[in-house]
């Protein structure tokens, strides 16, 4: 990773990042691709900061209007730029399937997202498809002026007052997550520091949070890279390529490996959304 400061923002050089692969692969739902003169441009936000980022060419990016302080204090961490993904992929590539997955979409990175937003987003994701997940979260943020609401703000809602989301049976789960978090019964910052099995149990005390959603919150919202969400696609990968279990040497970063595999298995079965 390298960067330079320009009048129009931060110019970032990072060969192991591709914006389409990272921002549109189902780990985050609030980035939108906007038309531009570049390869691609995305707009989105993390906590209360909005970002417009362009991919100028493979491995080169412009973070529009971002100061060095904002870059070092926020976006460097969000895009996990202090982790060496070349080294990770080199380790993964001992395995034949993982090797293919890494070379298919080598620009995927694990974003360090906000745990609360992540919890609500993956509650919404259950038995749902990505375009509709984005729609529900978009309607939620629209109501709060384009930002993601705090637990305290959602804690006063009911499934009826959340009807505008059209989130279906998931509304009652959003309410439970909000009231528990706002009341301090669930402490996401505390859970983030727990041993992983205790963290899983604590998350699953929330109604609507089962093994899959808990694992996603741990991986995407708490950067627990050993967390390994198993959805229908990863089940197919495990059945087809890992009948004797996932490689032990990759266990510490199994969640990152899972990202490459998810993208790969969907591509070879003809899915892009």
Least distance (Å) between residue 39 CB and DNA: 22
Q: What is the CA radius of gyration of the chain?
A: 19
Q: Dig out the tokens for 155 from the structure.
A: 């804690």
Asked if 234 is part of the footprint of DNA (rule: CB under 7 A), the reply reads: yes
Specify the pairing of strand 60-64 against strand 9-13. Answer: antiparallel
Q: Which of 35, 232, 244, 245 binds DNA (CB under 7 A)?
A: 232
Asked if 131 is part of the footprint of DNA (rule: CB under 7 A), the reply reads: yes
Here's the x/- map for DNA, 71-110, by CB under 7 A: it reads as ----------------------------------------
Least distance (Å) between residue 153 CB and DNA: 21
**Nearer Cβ to DNA (6/271):** 271
Residue 3 pairs in a beta bridge with 12
Least distance (Å) between residue 206 CB and DNA: 7
How big, in percent rounded to 5, are the helix, strand and coil portions of the chain? 50, 10, 40
Least distance (Å) between residue 97 CB and DNA: 15
Least distance (Å) between residue 239 CB and DNA: 14
Q: Which helix (H) or strand (E) holds 4?
A: strand 2-6
Asked if 120 is part of the footprint of DNA (rule: CB under 7 A), the reply reads: no
Asked if 208 is part of the footprint of DNA (rule: CB under 7 A), the reply reads: yes
Q: Which of 11, 52, 56, 130 binds DNA (CB under 7 A)?
A: 130
* CA distance to 6, 191, 263, per residue, from 209 (Å): 44, 14, 24
**Nearer Cβ to DNA (54/167):** 167
Report DSSP letters for 220-239, one per residue: IIT--TT-----HHHHHHHH
Are the CB atoms for 208 and 126 separated by under 8 Å?
yes
Here's the x/- map for DNA, 165-204, by CB under 7 A: it reads as -xxxx----------------------------------x
Q: Of 236, 232, 230, which is closest to residue 258 (Cα–Cα)?
A: 230
What are the residues whose beta carbons fall under 8 Å from the beta carbon of 234, sequence distance 6 or more?
228, 258, 261, 262, 265
Angle subtended at Cα 250 by Cα 127 and Cα 126, rounded to the nearest 5 degrees: 5
Here's the x/- map for DNA, 24-43, by CB under 7 A: it reads as -xxx----------------
Asked if 70 is part of the footprint of DNA (rule: CB under 7 A), the reply reads: no
Q: Enumerate binding residues for DNA (CB under 7 A).
A: 25-27, 125-133, 135, 163, 166-169, 204, 207-214, 216, 229-234, 258-259, 262, 271, 273
């Amino acid at each position: 990773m390298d960067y330079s400061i320009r009048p129009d923002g931060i110019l970032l050089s990072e060969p192991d990042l591709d914006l389409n692969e990272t921002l549109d692969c189902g780990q985050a739902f609030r980035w939108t691709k906007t038309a531009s003169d570049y390869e691609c441009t995305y707009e989105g936000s993390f906590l209360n900061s909005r970002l417009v980022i362009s991919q100028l060419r493979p491995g080169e990016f412009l973070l529009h209007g971002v100061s060095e302080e904002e870059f070092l204090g926020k976006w460097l961490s969000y895009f996990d730029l202090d982790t060496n993904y070349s080294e990770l992929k080199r380790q993964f590539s001992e395995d034949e399937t993982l090797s293919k997955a890494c070379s298919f979409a080598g620009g995927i990175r694990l974003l360090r997202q906000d745990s609360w937003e992540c919890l609500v987003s993956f509650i919404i994701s259950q038995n749902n498809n990505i375009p509709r997940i984005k729609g529900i979260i978009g309607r939620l943020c629209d109501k709060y002026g384009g930002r993601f609401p705090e637990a305290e703000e959602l804690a006063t809602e009911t499934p009826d007052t959340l009807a505008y989301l059209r989130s279906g049976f998931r509304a009652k789960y959003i309410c439970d997550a909000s009231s528990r978090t706002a009341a301090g019964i669930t402490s996401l910052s505390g859970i983030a520091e727990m041993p992983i099995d205790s963290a899983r149990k604590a998350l699953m005390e929330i109604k609507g949070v089962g093994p899959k959603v808990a694992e996603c919150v741990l991986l995407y919202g708490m950067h627990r890279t050993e967390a390994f969400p198993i959805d229908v696609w990863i089940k197919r990968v495990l059945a087809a390529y890992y009948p004797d279990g996932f490689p032990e040497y990759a266990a510490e970063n199994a969640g990152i490996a899972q990202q490459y595999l998810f993208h790969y298995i969907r591509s070879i079965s003809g899915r892009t959304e």
